[in-house]
Amino acid sequence: MNTFLNVNATAVADLTGEAFRSASIRLADRHTWTDLVASASRDQALLEALILSGLASYRSPEHPLGVVEAFHAKADLLHLRLESAGAVEGLLDLLPYREKRGTRRGIPGMQACVIGKQLELTASFGDKTGIRWNVVDPKVRIHLQGDEPLATLLQARHERVIQERCTPQWVPGEAVAPLRRRPPLSRDVISQHRASAQLASALLRRPRMWTALVGHDGLTVSSAVAEHGLDWTLVRTVAGGAELHDERLVELLQDAITGPDLQLLDHVCEPKTCTLRFVGSGGRVEGWRGIFTVRTEHGSSATGRPGRALAALGEARAPSRPAHRTRAESRLESRRCFVLTSGPSSPEAVHGVTAAAAVRLVSAWAAEGHVAAVLTVNDGDFDLSWYHSGNGTWPKAEVPRPESHVVRWNRLRLTPGNGEAWRARVNPRPRPFAVVDDEAIDAALAAARERCSRILVLDGRPTAWAGGLTNKGVDGVIFAFGANEYPRSTTTPAWRRAVDGNRAVDLGPYDSAALWREQHLGQHDLSQLPLAGLVLLHNSGEQTHSDVFTEQVEEHLSRYGTPVLGWLPPETGGDRLLLHSDGTKTALDGMSQEDRAGEIAAASAIGGKLW
C-alpha cells in the first residue's frame, strides 16, 4: 500500500467528498502532488460561480448548499452530487426564458439537458476575447442522491414556463437571438460573477470543508457588487458550545495543496461574531476580484458536529472540542538555518536549480520524519497585474491587500507520519518596487525556527551574494549547482597535440580536485562566505556511485574549504526542463520505492553533515 498516495487521496476526499478510490486513481498518474483539486478554466469558473449563486438559497445542516460531493473536477468539467430535488430547483431557476412581452430572464447562454441519469448544464457566454485555442463550452453535470429522476424535474420546469406563456431558451441546438444591447451592471449577472468567478469556483469544488469544522450547524452564502469586484459572504453558524474562531478554517482556506490558496486580509473577533476576510493570493487577478468574508455566529442548536480529521492539515484523528490542534514534533535536534544559493545575482536562487534542490531536500527530510521548510525572500517587482487603466469601467478599484509585510506559510507537500514539509514566502508591502525590510526578515526567521528544525533559505535579492542573510544569524551558506563527475583523466591541450599527439593523461585525486574546483568554482569568490558545503546535482543525468577515488577527491575539496555535502540523484528528463520548483518531483510525490529510497538516503546523508 502506497502511504504517500493515500495521504493525498484522503486529503482530496476530505474536502470534496470524492470517493477515495477515485481520487487515488486520478492522482496516481500526476507528475507532482500539488494543486490536488483541479482549477477551473475561465468560462468553467464563471459557470460554477453562477451555479453557486443558484444554490445559495438552499438550506441544509447536513450538506452545505445541498452539495454532497464534487468529483471528477477538470479544467472544463465538474460533477456535483446534490442531496435532494430542492437543491436542483435552485439551479433550474437559472435557466433562461423569454417572457411574452420580450423581457428575458435567467442566465443568457445557459443550456440544460438530461444525459442518462445526469442533468448537464452548459453555457456559451459569447466572450471570445484573447487567444484561445480548442476552447470547449464549460459543463457541470448534476447527479441526484435521491430516487427522483432529473428528467422529471427538467420537464416540470419546462411545463411551468410554457404555462406562464413564456418561451424556454435553454434547449441545446435551438437558435436564440442575441441580446440587442448589453444590460447595465446592476442586471448583468454574467459580468458581475466573472469578476470573482475563480474564487466562487474554488469554494464550490470543496463542499465538505465546512462540515469538517468543530460545531458546524449551517451556513448561508451571498454576494454583493463592490467597486473592486464581486464580494462573497459566507455566514457560518456553530453550536452554542463551540468556539467562534477556528484556526483550522484559516489554515484550510490558505492551504495551497488541497485548499483554495487564499490570503488572510484581516480578522476581527467580537463577543458574538468572528469575521475573517480573505483575498486571492499572489498576483492573481482574473477571476479573483473580490473579498471572501466568513462570519461565524452561534446558532440555535446546542450541539453541533464533533469535527473530522483532515489529512490536508496533517491530522490523524478528529480534533477535540473545542478544537485545539497539536503539531507533530520533529526529531530532537538543533534548529538550524542555512542559505541555499547558486551564485551572485542568479535567477536560479529562486526559480531554477537551487529552488529545485531546496524542494527536494526539504521533502525528503519530511519523509524521513523531520519538520523542514523552504523560506524564500525576494524583493518585489512592479506588478502590472494590479494596474488599472482608469477608463471608468468596472471594476474601478484594486482588490484590497494587506498593508504590512506578509509571511505566507503553506505546505510544500503532504506527508504521512510525523514529518512536515513547509514553504514560506516573505512578501514585501504591496507597492511598486517594494523591498523586504530587516524587521520582516528577522520575524520570518524567528517564526521558521519556532516552527521547524531544518530550514533552507532562498535569498533572491540583489544583495544576497554580498552579505544578504549571512548577518542575520543563519548558520551558514550552502552552494548548490549542477556539476560534472570528478575528472579521472585529461587530454593533451590543442597547442601541444602537434608535438605530443592526442593522448589522455590520468589524474590523481589531488589533481582531479584542483581541476574540478577550478572548472566549477573558479568564477566565484567564496572566501567571504560562511560556506557550510556544496550540494551537487548531476549534469549528465546519470548517477556514478562513489568509490575510493571519489572519496579521496572530496577529501581534497574539503581541505580547499569547499566540502561536498552530497550529490542528489539525477532528475528525470522532464524535470530538467521545468524551471519552476513546483514542477520538481520529490520524495513525497509519486515515484518508485527504489527511487524514493535513493532520494531520501541522499538527503539524509546531506542533512546528517549539517545537523
Condensed to tens digits (0 to 9), the pLDDT of residues 88-144 reads 999 999 999 999 888 899 999 999 999 999 999 999 886 544 445 446 789 999 999
Enumerate residues 6+ apart whose C-beta is below 8 A from 116.
Answer: none
Across 116-241, the runs of DSSP E, i.e. the strands, are 118-123, 139-144, 167-168, 216-226, 229-238
Cα–Cα distances in Å, from 198 out to 220, 255, 331, 461, 515? Answer: 19, 16, 40, 32, 54
How far is CA 390 from its chain centroid?
32
Could you tell me what percent of the chain has a pLDDT over 90?
A: 59
Residues 432 and 389: their CA atoms lie apart, in Å, by 16
pLDDT in tens, 308-323: 999 999 987 666 543 4
Classified as helix, coil or strand, 55 is helix
CA nearest 177: which of 126, 112, 122?
A: 126
- Report the candidate in 220, 248, 209, 261 with the shortest Cα–Cα distance to residue 70: 209
pTM score, whole prediction: 0.89
Which H or E element spans position 425?
Answer: strand 420-427
What amino acid occupies position 424? A
Q: What is the mean pLDDT of residues 50-63?
A: 92
* pLDDT value at residue 345: 44
Regarding beta strands 406-413 and 420-427, do their DSSP bridges make them parallel or antiparallel, or are they unpaired?
A: antiparallel
Instruction: Count the alpha carbons within 13 Å of 57 in the hemisphere toward its beta carbon.
Output: 10
Which residues are paired to 576 by β-bridges? none
Structural domains for the chain: 37-178+188-304 (no CATH), 336-482+531-551+563-610 (3.40.50)
Q: Which residues of 425-434 are buried (b: 16+ CB within 10 A; e: fewer)?
A: bbbbbbeeeb
Q: What is the pLDDT of residue 468?
A: 62
How is residue 60 written as a grid cell? 441544509
Cell numbers found for residue 145:
442522491
Q: Which of 286, 258, 263 is nearest to 276 (CA)?
A: 263
CA-nearest of 31, 17, 10 to 588 is 31
State the pLDDT at residue 62.
87
Count Cβ atoms below 10 Å from residue 172 Cβ, excluding itself.
Answer: 10
139/137 Cα distance (integer angstroms): 7
